Structure 1
């Protein structure tokens, strides 16, 4: 009896344990369920709703796209992110991710039960259990985990909930694409597209297997596996990814073994506002977009964010032509600069890099430049320093990085220099501005605003304005053709000529001289010969016949917004005009007298592809087809018998007195080219405007200060400073047959009443390049 009671009591006690077990078990399940329920309701912190899941808030860079579909650059603050679709990812990249991060990705719905159980049993020592969906949830909605164990558990719960919601919201492919797009690969490589471009210089679709494996390896910890700082660790991690791909039969062991032995072959191509292609154009575009944003709000009235809203800006720039333009500048300018430095050593020029200035004038110039500098502005207005403190700071040696040409390439050198000395050093560098445009559409195809955007940020295409010299003369000739029906074959006496003081409000008599001095007169010249050889006196005669108001009005109609006073001296190029304005004006000659305003942006779209802006062409008839055509025929004479004839052959074969800086370029063009060189007072500015039927290009070269220039016309003329850049650029453009740059004749009007078929130029004219522009006059040298 006692035994029975004892057994009954033991049974009751055991039953009690069972009841407690089930109570705890069910209670635990209910507690877990409650935690998940409370978490989903936002009790432990905000949870994304359906709308947020559908449109995750990620910062997207604004992308600048060329006319041939290439990315020129981006606008961004912190996130250089441009999303790609799943279809733009190579298959081996996706396979590398799944094999390494989530082998059962296609068989779970956001949470890998087996992986989670393994992680719990082994306390995480057997590897993590986060699925790709969970990692995306973490990246999108709550970032790095907390070190507090309770908070970390709650974050993991939120990850699970968000992961399952993501799985219901998106397809497996869309989740993978989002994960690749959201990850920060460091070095401004936000998302897979930026990472592919920055680390390998290619689009994601072009990645090979080992490159894909390297990028997937960075998912473990991009700060640790940074290919720039830890190439050995990155290679080892890449090999782990290859091992995983072989383990899950995505690649063979033979392929794995062969790839494990290879280097990572990094091709680091940084993307920043000051690096890459078309930097000066992107600088202009930044201002264009800020103005557009100020006047074009979103539908809800808020402003677009240039750096976060993922806009797409479609431009007219052709990436190939842009590269050819930049290459031409880079090929010519180091050679020209080397000659400039050679001529401006302290022994040869004690006031280097300036000429014709005494020491007091140089001190005044440097003082003005100092007060206009960014350093002065920062210290004056940001740091609230006194003028005396700022001036003193310019005299203190400072560690700095300065620009140099090295072996024909742009380079930098770390040095210690006084800021005032660095300013003088930079003033010794020759700058350039270059723009190329289709005259029929107005589409700007190339834009080079200087020699190096990091160190010389002032844009000499649109911002900068300089005297244009003889490149202005075609406007005078066009006015005379339009008003007086002159022919290129009409002859004028080549004699000294003055415009009287009382005419056109002149304060005194104006008597321009020819470049050859007193001996450079005699006989007559056709207008074609006069323009080809930049004869100042005949240009003055034409100005006297049509009047400066006529010429100034024409220039304004041709899109020049700079100040062009209606005085006779403008005939020789005294106004300061930009490259941008000059190219637009010249383009009207090639476009049968129709001015087309230069176009840089065709469309702007939001991240969803909705068109926000579409350009409308601005055109106006300025000249008759006949006048434009006759002017073009005059300009063709410059490359047939004037300062542009060096474009017709390898000039180096026929010259022994010029150094390689302006020879050795075998252009040897045979097609019709219309153009004009220009050189201003004391060789401060060199210009060349060149045209073929479907491309007009302008080039300017000069220093920041007009007092820094070549001492002689030999190197300081437009034909030596600017024309070689045009020639090198066009050689590259013609070599690229896909560009379809015309070699045809300029189209002739159906009704041509003016005779343009003059007799063949004389032998004297053909010899003009040997003497033209080599003797200075009082203003201009053609």
Structure 2
């Protein structure tokens, strides 16, 4: 009786606040139609394989008929009852003069248009995110029970899960990745498959054929095929022998799945040819993850490069070092240091031997201010800063910014040798935009039961890490990256006319952004990983591109650097996001703190397109 009274009071309150059409719309959007079809949009897709605005009158009547009892009136199990119920809806429409007698007679003769299309986690939008969400929910279900002690059922209890993903940004992110990766992959194939290719062991480099064979066998032993055969009782020798037998299979290609006959062992090498990629986008003030792309095809590449993948981060490490130096030494972006070979002596900062890093260009001689040094990823100056502050404070800072991966306290981390996930890196970079406050990334805001009662609500976890001034000064340093440094191609134009890379590889160039963008490129040894971290005042986005194995990479840095492999995905993502004004992506300057005592106005900082042309010409382009 008490429950009925509560429902009566709630119904009165709802009627006061909403019109009947609004109430019906809300009800249709949350009703459980069965078979994991929550809401009319999902039901339309699962039972009829249509969008709601494509439904015919007989389709809509069927769904309305199911509202009485979706378990009893289920098109898969009891289509004859569903047909009867649908015709009852038509009779009600006739009674209320919504259709004529002739229409009633015609409509009741129509069969059901069932086209059962269950939604798969392997298809559709945000597949990698949905897989991670399912993992999270499975753990939540193990840890939480109903009031009577029984367990919740994810598929039968009508739980409502509210995530932070913005479907519009997610769609843009996935399309931007597909566009560039298809383009980049074409070039990678060309460099590894042409008869005159200088690579004797494609797609692997730096490996002998025997090492390649070992790598392929290890990959085979980690495969789902191997696991299933082991469970069925086959020996390792029997399984390996089966990998040599041509087998019908569907394989991924950028032009769609291919039906082929291939030895499973050859299919492993085939898939190694494909470069992998990931993107994560987060609102720094709230921690809300807006886009999560763990790869470009979940069916064929199920490893999530956002959360599961950990790779060396290259020069995207350097802002943490610079922030530590600014915080501890009160350095300014305008402070200058010599760009000359520099060694940290043996037995210092945890080193056994001397550490003498070289610049990637192997050029030295200038005196550079810190803004110019970060913009151009000058390793010698990073070595000097690391020697002054020591690795321990940098590691401490990064841990406060949410980095949970192992960080050795040695000077060489200044060049980005630690393996870190994109998920961690985006969360950490967001600290700079969020005025020095780290907020742990949030991907789910709350869980409700079928009656709308909250079962779980996220409480943001924040940590004060840097002063607002230090965070802003570090952002100012990173703005130099996109103004005249390794991210300068976000702003300039004209190089596509006579340069092969800009014309064919930098997808979508020219971009010609004019708003404030802080960013950092990253390229690891041998071009195994390419990174780009880009920030505007209300969105932080990271992109990674690389091979599944570190030995799968471009030979030439002009193709394999972060500015070529990763930056174009970010550029297209942001360019298309700005076209949708309703997304409210900021194009304003970063907010300036009330007090900034550190000098920021450095002279003689200019990007000259001819400089990049000269560098590319020396590389043979």
Q: TM bucket by the smaller chain?
A: 0.7 to 0.9
Once residues 191 and 628 of structure 1 are traced to their aligned partners in structure 2, the CA distance between those partners, rounded to angstroms, is: 44
Distance between the aligned counterparts of 1:637 and 1:182, measured in 2?
54
Determine if the alignment matches structure 1 residue 318 to structure 2 residue 318.
Answer: no
- 2:299 is paired with a residue whose SS is coil
Q: What is the CA distance between 1:775 and its match in structure 2?
A: 8.7
Counterpart check, 1:394 vs 2:240: no
Q: Equivalents in 2 of 1:267, 1:355: separation in Å? A: 49
In structure 2, C-alpha distance between the alignment counterparts of 1:642 and 1:755, rounded to whole Å: 20
Post-superposition Cα deviations, 1:55-114, rounded to whole Å, max 9, x if no partner, equal xxxxxxxxxxxxxxxxxxxxxxxxxxxxx9865689xxxxxxxxxxxxxxxxxxxxxxxx
Larger RCO: 1 or 2 (CA < 8 Å, sep 6+): 2
Q: Report what 2:227 is aligned to.
A: 377
Change in CA separation of 1:763 and 1:241 when aligned onto 2, cut-off 3 Å: closer
When residues 474 and 771 of structure 1 are mapped into structure 2, their CA distance, relative to the original with a 3 A threshold, is farther
8 Å CA contact 2:529, 2:545 repeated in 1: yes
| Runs (5+) with no aligned partner, structure 2 | 2-21, 67-71, 80-85
1:530-609 correspondence to structure 2 within 5 Å: 530-609=373-452
Contact kept? 2:316, 2:520, Cα under 8 Å: yes
In 2, distance between residues paired with 1:613 and 1:544?
A: 47
Q: Separation in 2 of the partners of 1:183 and 1:619?
A: 39
- Between structure 1 and structure 2, the one with the greater Rg is 1
How far 1:713 sits from its partner (Å)?
A: 1.1
| Distance in structure 1 (CA, Å) of the matches to 2:494 and 2:114 | 42
**Which residue among 715, 725, 728 is the counterpart of 2:572?**
728
Offset of 1:664 from its aligned partner? 3.8
Q: Does 1:737 align with 2:581?
A: yes
* Corresponding residue to 1:501 among 346, 352, 355: 346
How far, CA to CA, are the matches of 1:239 and 1:665 in structure 2? 57
Give TM-score, length-normalised by structure 2. 0.86
User: What secondary structure does 1:504 align onto?
Assistant: coil
Q: 1:221 to 1:624 in 2, by over 3 A?
A: closer
Displacement, 1:202? 3.1
Deviations 1:726-759 (A, max 9, x none): 1111112111111111111111111111001111
**Contact (CA 8 Å) 1:583, 1:698: kept in 2 or not?**
yes
- Equivalents in 2 of 1:301, 1:244: separation in Å? 43
**Other structure's SS at 2:278 match:** strand
> How much has 1:344 moved relative to structure 2?
1.0
1:468-483 aligned within 5 A: 468-483=313-328
Equivalences, count = 588
Deviations 1:435-468 (A, max 9, x none): 1111111111110000111111110001100010
Q: 1:609 to 1:247 in 2, by over 3 A?
A: closer
Which TM-score applies when normalising by structure 1? Answer: 0.69
Residues 37 and 43, structure 2, Cα contact 8 Å, conserved in 1: yes
C-alpha distance in 2, partners of 1:623/1:445?
25
Shift of 1:665: 2.7
Q: CA deviation at 1:610?
A: 0.9
For residue 750 of structure 1, give the secondary structure of its aligned residue in structure 2.
Answer: coil
Match of 2:8 in 1: none
Larger deviation: 656-665 or 457-466? Answer: 656-665
Counterparts of 1:254 and 1:422 in 2: how far apart (Å)? 60
Q: In 1, distance between residues paired with 2:537 and 2:103?
A: 54
Deviations 1:231-289 (A, max 9, x none): xxxxxxx99999997899643589899999x9x99999751111111111111111211
- State the alpha-carbon separation in 2 of the partners of residues 394 and 522 from structure 1: 56
Q: Which residues of 2 match residues 442-521 of structure 1 at below 5 A?
A: 442-517=287-362, 520-521=363-364
**After the TM superposition, which of the residue ranges 244-253 and 562-571 deviates more from structure 2?**
244-253
Change (3 A) 1:224 1:605: closer
Unaligned runs of 5+ in 1: 1-49, 51-83, 91-176, 227-237, 777-782
CA distance in 2, matches of 1:494, 1:760: 16
Is the Cα contact below 8 Å between 1:183 and 1:191 reproduced in 2? Answer: no
Quote the RMSD (CA, aligned, Å). 3.6
Is the 8 Å Cα contact of residues 444 and 598 (structure 1) preserved in structure 2?
A: yes
**CA deviation string 1:463-504 (max 9, x = no partner):** 100010011011111111011011111111111111111211
Cα gap change, 1:324 to 1:87, in 2 (>3 Å): closer
Deviation by residue 1:281-304 (Cα, 9 ceiling, x = unmatched) = 111111211222222222112222
Which residue pairs with 1:361 in the alignment? Answer: 211
1:435 to 1:664, Cα distance in 2 relative to 1, 3 A: closer
Q: Distance in 1 between matches of 2:274 and 2:298?
A: 13
Displacement, 1:686?
Answer: 0.4
SS of the residue corresponding to residue 472 of structure 2 reads: helix
Judged with a 3 Å threshold, the aligned counterparts in structure 2 of structure 1 residues 328 and 643 are, in CA distance, closer, same or farther, namely same
C-alpha distance in 1, partners of 2:107/2:493? 50
Distance in 2 between residues matched to 1:280 and 1:220, nearest whole Å: 33
**Correspondences of 1:267-346 after superposition (within 5 Å):** 271-345=119-193
SS in 1 for 2:505: helix
Residue of structure 2 in register with 1:525 after alignment: 368
Q: 1:33-112 residue pairs with structure 2 within 5 A?
A: none
